[in-house]
A and B are shown apart, each in its own frame.
Chain A
Amino acid sequence: MLMIKAIVRPEKTNQILAELNDAGFPAVTKIDVVGRGKQRGVIVGDVVYDEIPKELLLIVVRDEDKDDVISTIMKSAKTGEQGRYGDGKIIVCPVEEVYTVSTGKKEL
């Protein structure tokens, strides 16, 4: 299984969550984070904003669903056709075991 971590614009989150739900992936965890990217934040004149608010979505899926989830997030996280700096990143990590607490079983 894989954990997909997506860092996205806060204003896009609702749309992404709705699209994920429609695509059959309702389960998600959301964390408010701040961060900067390769552009070193937003520079306006002499002022540097390098703690830009973003939202981190954690989604754990089976290996074969990875591409589905990534393309769904990509589609709604992009700004315009071309995309803009600050649209975010998607990171994929391996998950070795998953337990459901309510049943105590080792399954997603």
Chain B
Amino acid sequence: MKEVIAIIRMHKVGQTKNALVEAGFCRLTAIKVMGRGKMLKDLALVDKVNEEARDTLLESLLKGGRLIPKRMLTIYVRDEDVPKVVDTIISINKEGRIGDGKIFVLPVLDVIRVRTGERGEEAI
């Protein structure tokens, strides 16, 4: 079993949920999070900004920038379903720009359904 953690843009959550349901994965947990990524590394782009804004831009870049609101989706799936879930999330969220998000796949040792006490793959 695997835990798929996807950090995506806020306004893509609805579409992602619908696409996941169509792909057969109704279950998910969503949390509002703040975060930042690797940010802009190409300093040549800064030269294109006008003089006044350049200083504040450089300052904020060096400080690491502010945290941006994102949604974190956590989905527990069977090993064989990981590629399907990952592909679904990427296909909806890929805009080709910085800030589209990241997907992490973590191993899960056991899952227990509280209502019945089932364990392992049956509980997913």
Is the beta-carbon distance between B35 and A29 smaller than 8 angstroms?
yes
Q: How far is the CA of A60 from the CA of B86 in the complex (A)?
A: 17
Q: Is A17 an interface residue (CB 8 A)?
A: yes
A1-35 toward B: CB 8 Å interface, digit per residue (1/0)?
00100000000000001101110001111110000
Is the beta-carbon distance between A94 and B106 smaller than 8 angstroms?
yes
**Stretch of A45-53, A65-73, A95-103 contacting B (4+ beta carbons < 8 Å):** A95-103
Q: Is A43 an interface residue (CB 8 A)?
A: no
In the complex, what residue of chain B is closest to A102 when comparing beta carbons?
A: B100
Q: Is A93 an interface residue (CB 8 A)?
A: yes
CB distance from A9 to the nearest CB of B (A): 16
Is the beta-carbon distance between A100 and B104 smaller than 8 angstroms?
no
In the complex, what residue of chain A is closest to B82 when comparing beta carbons?
A: A97
Q: Return chain A residues, CB-CB under 8 Å to B104.
A: 3, 60, 95, 97-98
Given contacts A18-B64, A28-B35, 17 further A-B contacts (CB under 8 A): A3-B104, A3-B106, A21-B64, A29-B33, A31-B31, A31-B72, A94-B106, A94-B107, A95-B106, A96-B2, A96-B105, A97-B86, A97-B104, A100-B102, A101-B8, A101-B103, A103-B96
29 examples of A-B residue contacts, CB within 8 angstroms: A17-B67, A20-B64, A21-B63, A21-B64, A26-B37, A26-B38, A26-B39, A26-B64, A27-B36, A27-B37, A27-B38, A28-B67, A29-B7, A29-B34, A29-B70, A30-B33, A60-B102, A60-B104, A95-B104, A96-B107, A97-B86, A97-B103, A98-B103, A101-B93, A101-B101, A102-B94, A102-B97, A102-B100, A102-B101
B: residues with CB less than 8 A from A are 2, 6-8, 31, 33-39, 63-65, 67, 70, 72, 82, 86, 89-90, 93-107
